[in-house]
Structure 1
Amino acid sequence: MEVVKPWVDAKKYQGDRFKEALYEAELAERFLNDGLLRNSAGKAYQALKAYVAGLAIDYRDLLLQYYPGKRTISANKVVERVDWIIAIMPSSKLREVVAIINDNELRLATEIALNLHEFQYNGYDKDSEISRYSREEFVKKDIMFVVDFIRRRLSNIKES
């Protein structure tokens, strides 16, 4: 699925990203059920990131106050920096964007998703020296927290 860019059609972009969030959440649960914990954690993170990117459309004017200016994306294409942030939703800006949106449940889900993103690369260890997770059960709980959050927030979106 090719996601339309927010500077082309903001509402279609939002719908595409919300569908992507649902697909990623479904994959996260499927991978979890198949015992693919690190893959599942990555998909839960991707689901949250897609959700935030879609939601950011509704907060574009507010986000513009924090991300002014232009961004060159090719030799002949320049877009508003805020639109580039919304389109890419870089991991480095995820916390900031969510803080600007100012939704406490979303902030919690984002922190958990970022922990899962880290876990995807580091795995877990019983001493919690290279990972925030010392037990598989906590990873599973966090994955399902993010999956359930996405499903609840997007329960009005129809699969098509």
Structure 2
Amino acid sequence: MDFERLNGDIKEMRRRNRGLGLAVGVLFWVTRDKASSEYLEQMGSFIAWLVLDVTPASIDWKKEILLGYVEPEQYGPLKTRQEVEAERLKRINAATVFAPQQLVPSEEGQSVVIRGRLRTLVNGFETANDLKAYRVEFSYAGARMHLKSFKEVANVGN
């Protein structure tokens, strides 16, 4: 199988579909400057998938999709962070897989805390399997949801 061609085809498909956004399976509401808990959960899960479910082959195209959702002020720092992470993953042949277990949205803060298990594999061998929590913060402007920040937070109960 020609993985380079397949990877190129996937990138081209994603580039063409960039404006389509994510497909949601629940009802939600969006106002001029806010989105519902359901939409925050969907977007938070999508962003977590882009950042945390990565392999050396997928991190570059996932980074490009992620950067399409980032606030302009955060574009440079997040791009640098993802490029450093991509280089590290490729150098050590690592992959990470995140299994969300709980989503705690905040309509007031336009954020969602995602708790779950992050597995890290290096050369196919599991090197870490930890409970983690991440806060995904959004801003809503110009009829568009933007990623404001993605940070690991303490994994404590509600």
TM-score by length of 2: 0.33
Higher strand content, 1 or 2: 2
TM-score by length of 1: 0.32
Larger relative CO (CA 8 A, sep 6+): 1 or 2?
1
Higher helix content, 1 or 2: 1
